[in-house]
Amino acid sequence: MSNVPDTLRYRDSHEWIDPTQSPSPVGITDHAQAELTDVVFVDPPKVGTQVSAGQQVCVIESVKAASDIYAPVAGEIVAINEALTGDPGLLNRDPYAGGWIFKIQPSNPAEFEALMDAAAYGKHIA
């Protein structure tokens, strides 16, 4: 069974965002990392980029395929996880903590409400 933490919010494309932190870290879910397996490269977004909710912001690559990562909410990319450059496997081993991909400063925190909570996401991947 995939781990789906209660405190996070989710997009149907399997990104998570932590609304309790500001700026909010974004990553991919345990379910997503298990589906992708073997992340070998993370092509990060540029810090300072303004993004809208649902905009494609970066790409992560497994052995088999490249997958687009979408912004769960609108805002500014204020940090990227440099550790993933040397160790992209962190995304597989620790998807909700060490494997965060970027941090976003939300421009409209109300958008969190449009995302799935843990129960809804759990159903989405069931």
Partner 1 sequence: MSDPSPLYRTPLHAVHVEMGARMVPFAGWDMPVQYTGIVDEHKAVRQSVGVFDISHMGQFIVSGPGAEAFLNRVLTNNITKLQPGQGQYTLLLNGLGGVIDDLIAYRTSEREFYLVVNASRIDADWAHLETQLNKDDEVMMANASDFTAGLAIQGPKAREVAVAVFGSAASFPEHNTILVTMTDTGPMWLCGTGYTGEEGFEFFMPMETAETWFRKIVAAVKAAGGMPCGLGARDTLRLEMGYPLNGNDLSEARTPLQAGLGFFVDLDKGDFTGREALVAQKAAGLPDKLAAFRMTGAAPPPRPHYPVAFSGEIIGEVCSGTQSPSLGAGIGMAYVPLSAATIGSTLEIEIRGRRFPAEVVKKPFYRKPVV
Residues in the chain: 126
Rounded least distance, CB 39 to partner 1, Å? 10
Residues 30-89 interacting with partner 1 (rule: CB under 8 A): 37-38, 40-41, 43, 59, 61-64, 66, 85
Q: Considering beta carbons, is residue 37 or 50 the nearer one to partner 1?
A: 37
Q: Considering beta carbons, is residue 39 or 71 the nearer one to partner 1?
A: 39
Closest CA to 53 of 118, 100, 112: 112
Applying CB under 8 A, the residues found at the interface with partner 1 are 37-38, 40-41, 43, 59, 61-64, 66, 85
